[in-house]
Amino acid sequence: MNPGLALCHPYPFEKLAQLKQGIVVPNNKSAINLSIGEPAHETPAFIRDALFEHIKGLGTYPTTKGLLTLRQAIASWLCARFNLPLTSIDPETQVLPVSGTREALFSIAQCVVDASRAKGGLKPVVIMPNPFYQIYEGAALLAGAEPYFLNTTEASGYLPDFDSVPEAIWQRCQLIYICSPGNPSGSVLPQSEQEKLIKLAENYDFIIAFDECYSELYDDEDNPPVGLLQTAFGVGNTAFKRCLVFHSLSKRSNAPGLRSGFVAGDAEILKSYFLYRTYQGCAMPLPTQQASIRAWQDEGHVLENRKLYRAKFAAVIDVLGKVCDIHKPVAGFYLWLKTSIPDTDFAQNLFAKENVTVLPGSYLSRDFGGINPGQYHVRIALVAPLADCIEAAHRIKNFINTLT
């Protein structure tokens, strides 16, 4: 067996199922689940229609590289969204379709980490935020690397602090995962920090895997989250050296079951990653590619999607703001709520008393540097219908009132 497997943690939702096991919930309260980050707004009809229109494509093996028309649609979207000159992204060499970003975020580590390049008998390092999307950690472990965590706390604005990383860790670093906007906090890594990261990557020769899968769910229409390719281009790294961005239709277009996303950036890395992917075999089915083209070419439905989340945040914060210190995130669909009691107790008792499920923050994080930055937080995913989110907010408020 791959020795990294023994180091992989159970997934947060397995831990949550155990936490809830055997608990009898009040039978007069319907279940509201705000723990899982699965978008639940309806998938736009035009995306479903495109899938059916092209259903005959199931009769053909898709290629790993995907249709040129898909890569062109993606490149055009990237340029428009991130204020890049129209021809700055080459669909031939700088874009690859992926079957959702989850598999891509995992497989990129398997492709780029060179465990034989261990320094001083020590494993290569993959840096990631803490709390994090757990795939980053599993990917690092299974690639034979050692994860190094960047604690993101309230004091740091829930952002990683690159200055805190010891020189010896940068020396061993081959890959860094950054999630911006972040899961779970929704914080966006400012442009100046992105510039710093690009410089660090250049100095220490590592690759940046920048997970932007929440980048389209932002609050301020006039201020969309800045992306890594935009920053790279701005500092003259017009070939996006060492930079890869990961985007998905799951959250942007409410199509988590489509399994469609892309990776874009450094052509040299993507050339190797393309070779890797031909063996891995995650080619995107043709009907999915056609539906994805339509989705990337339309912004109207994304605007509507943002409106729905904005309404939910406003309503929920209106209720919860009366009993706790709560902030609207810049982006994403999570509330990262501080708790006055241990997060696991909060989640378990909230479930027992109010039949509302939220995710303990410590299930998304590790003890590192003497703290666990997920502790005393819960993640509340505003994915349920508006009425359910409001009902859940009232129940959470009632529950918080019992704690004081």
Ligand X SMILES: Cc1ncc(COP(=O)(O)O)c(C=O)c1O
> By the criterion CB under 6 A, which residues form the site for ligand X?
37, 100-102, 105, 133, 179, 183, 211, 213, 248, 250, 256, 261
What's the min distance (Å) between Cβ of 101 and ligand X? 4
Instruction: Output the CA–CA distances (angstroms, integers) from residue 59 to 62, 285, 287, in the order listed.
Output: 9, 10, 10
Strand, coil or helix: what is 337? strand
Beta bridge partners, 127, equal: 148, 176
Q: Which residues contact 12 (CB under 8 A, 6 or more apart)?
A: 134, 359, 363, 364
What's the min distance (Å) between Cβ of 85 and ligand X? 27
The tokens for 199 are: 């410089």
Tell me whether residue 104 or residue 201 sits nearer to ligand X (CB atom): 104
Tell me whether residue 7 or residue 282 sits nearer to ligand X (CB atom): 282
Tell me whether residue 183 or residue 231 sits nearer to ligand X (CB atom): 183
What's the min distance (Å) between Cβ of 53 and ligand X? 23
Residue type, 153: T
Tell me whether residue 101 or residue 107 sits nearer to ligand X (CB atom): 101
Is the separation of the CB atoms in 191 and 229 below 8 Å? Answer: no
Hunting for tokens 């060179």 — which residue is that?
114
* CA dihedral (101, 106, 111, 114) positive or negative: positive
What's the min distance (Å) between Cβ of 187 and ligand X? 12
DSSP string of 124-150, one letter each residue: PEEEEEES--THHHHHHHHTT-EEEEE
Tell me whether residue 100 or residue 147 sits nearer to ligand X (CB atom): 100
Tell me whether residue 211 or residue 266 sits nearer to ligand X (CB atom): 211
Pairwise CA distance, residues 47 & 294, whole Å:
7
DSSP string of 217-283, one letter each residue: -BS-TTSPPP-HHHHHHHTT-TT-TTEEEEEEHHHHTT-TTT--EEEEE-HHHHHHHHHHHHHHT-P
Tell me whether residue 97 or residue 395 sits nearer to ligand X (CB atom): 97
What's the min distance (Å) between Cβ of 213 and ligand X? 4
What's the min distance (Å) between Cβ of 56 and ligand X? 26
The tokens for 71 are: 């890569």
Q: Which residues contact 217 (CB under 8 A, 6 or more apart)?
A: 181, 251, 252, 305, 306, 309, 331, 332, 333
Tell me whether residue 101 or residue 355 sits nearer to ligand X (CB atom): 101
What's the min distance (Å) between Cβ of 161 and ligand X? 19
The tokens for 115 are: 């465990």
Q: Is 390 exposed, middle or buried (0-12, 13-18, 19+ CB in 10 A)?
A: middle
What's the min distance (Å) between Cβ of 359 and ligand X? 12
What's the min distance (Å) between Cβ of 167 and ligand X? 28
Tell me whether residue 99 or residue 290 sits nearer to ligand X (CB atom): 99
Hunting for tokens 């890959």 — which residue is that?
175
